[in-house]
Amino acid sequence: MPPLLKLHAWKLAGLLLLANLGLLAHLIAGSIKPTSEWDWTDILGEGGSALLVLLWIGLLLKSRPAGRVTNLLFCGLACLFFSLWMDSVDEFVQLPASVHWDKWLESGPMPVGFILMTLGIYHWHREQLAISAQMEKRERLFREHRLFDKLTPLGTADYLRLQVQQALQQGRAEGQPLSLVILDLNGFDRLNREHGHAEGDLVLQSLTQLLLLNLRRQDLLCRLAGDRFVALLPGTGAQQAQQIAGELQDAVRHLAYRSSRNGERLYLSAGVASVLAQDEDGDSLLRRLNLALARAKQTPAAKRA
């Protein structure tokens, strides 16, 4: 079984259990119809639709990580599959006229499934808008600069310096504040040693998407080096930048990342710091940002001592 499907094995097992319970209920309450009464048009239509929905579920769980959007889409598709499955079973099993619960099993899950799928698609749409907004910054200047990271869809340190300098000039001209937030993953070297560099790359890619989803449309995220990221926050004061830095740190801590090899949970954490731009150039601002991160990462160690 592919690694991502292993992570969702309990979902598949639960769906299989419900499908078998529904079939068992029909067999206990009714009797098998003779083949002469089978309606092959309904069997092929309803059974084929159920198999297609089951295929959609497999593709969904294989391609998406665990999370709210995946759960909503899965539950919605599971309801559709169960409804179609019960319709298919009804073509083979004759129930007494006194039995009415089969209609609920056939029709009830369908509207619930469509509602859950609609919610899942809505949140998936919001994810894509957030990611696309950041990707627009890359696509606009990709051919001109080619200063983008090969592993993640982010600008490199050189690209960040260019953007910081431009943002400083624009902020002074418009009288708007500019802040930077830096995030550094804790224990990334150990993660590479224990799980391999390929797993480390997957962590950085997942972390990139997570950070993009927790930033605003006008913000710019770049990969400074290794496991260190910088967010450029135009029009943002010191207090709001600190709040955003704390939210990014919390997002990393709550990320339910599972290793691709055996699906074990890897607990991640990060150090963060933020600075408000002053009357300085881009290099000075970035040096001050790195010093702020070093002080922030020393503070917890001092408290433990």
Residues 104 and 220 in one domain: no
In a domain, 149, yes or no: no
Residues 187 and 112 in one domain: no
Please tell me the least confidently modeled range out of 96-105, 189-198, 202-211.
Answer: 96-105
With a cut of 80, say whether residue 54 has pLDDT above it. yes
In a domain, 12, yes or no: yes
Residues 293 and 214 in one domain: yes
In a domain, 208, yes or no: yes
Number of other CB atoms surrounding residue 245 within 10 Å = 25
pLDDT at 140: 54
In a domain, 304, yes or no: no
Q: What's phi and psi for 8, nearest 5 deg?
A: -105, 20
**Exposed/middle/buried for 252, CB within 10 Å: 0-12, 13-18, 19+?**
buried
Q: Could you read off the pLDDT of 223-240 as tens digits, one per residue? A: 988 899 999 999 999 999
With a cut of 70, say whether residue 59 has pLDDT above it. yes
Structure tokens that stand for 283 in this block: 């290099």
- CB contact burial 141-171 (16+ within 10 A = b; e otherwise): eeeeeebbbeebbbbbeebbbbbbeebbeeb
The three-state secondary structure class of 248 is helix
Boundary of a domain, candidates 144, 166, 195: 144
Contact yes or no for 69/77 (Cβ under 8 A): no
In a domain, 303, yes or no: no
Contact yes or no for 223/152 (Cβ under 8 A): yes
More confident of the two residues 220 and 61? 220
DSSP 166-213: HHHHHHHHHT--EEEEEEEETTHHHHHHHH-HHHHHHHHHHHHHHHHH
Residues 32 and 138 in one domain: yes
Residues 104 and 30 in one domain: yes
**For residue 286, what are the domain limits?**
157-298
Residues 261 and 199 in one domain: yes
Structure tokens that stand for 183 in this block: 């995030």
Residues 171 and 282 in one domain: yes
Boundary of a domain, candidates 116, 144, 172: 144
Residues 111 and 163 in one domain: no
Give the chain's domain count: 2
With a cut of 90, say whether residue 284 has pLDDT above it. yes
Distance CA 148, CA 146 (A): 6
Residues 168 and 118 in one domain: no
pLDDT at 63: 75
In a domain, 278, yes or no: yes
In a domain, 152, yes or no: no
Boundary of a domain, candidates 86, 110, 144: 144
Residues 90 and 178 in one domain: no
With a cut of 70, say whether residue 192 has pLDDT above it. yes
Residue 135: which pLDDT band, with cuts at 50, 70 and 90? low
Residues 137 and 247 in one domain: no
Q: What is the dihedral of CA 2, 191, 204, 253, to 10 degrees?
A: 100
In a domain, 305, yes or no: no
Residues 99 and 40 in one domain: yes
C-alpha distance from residue 294 to each of 154, 177, 223, 243, 271 (Å): 23, 23, 17, 19, 9
Distance CA 81, CA 47 (A): 10
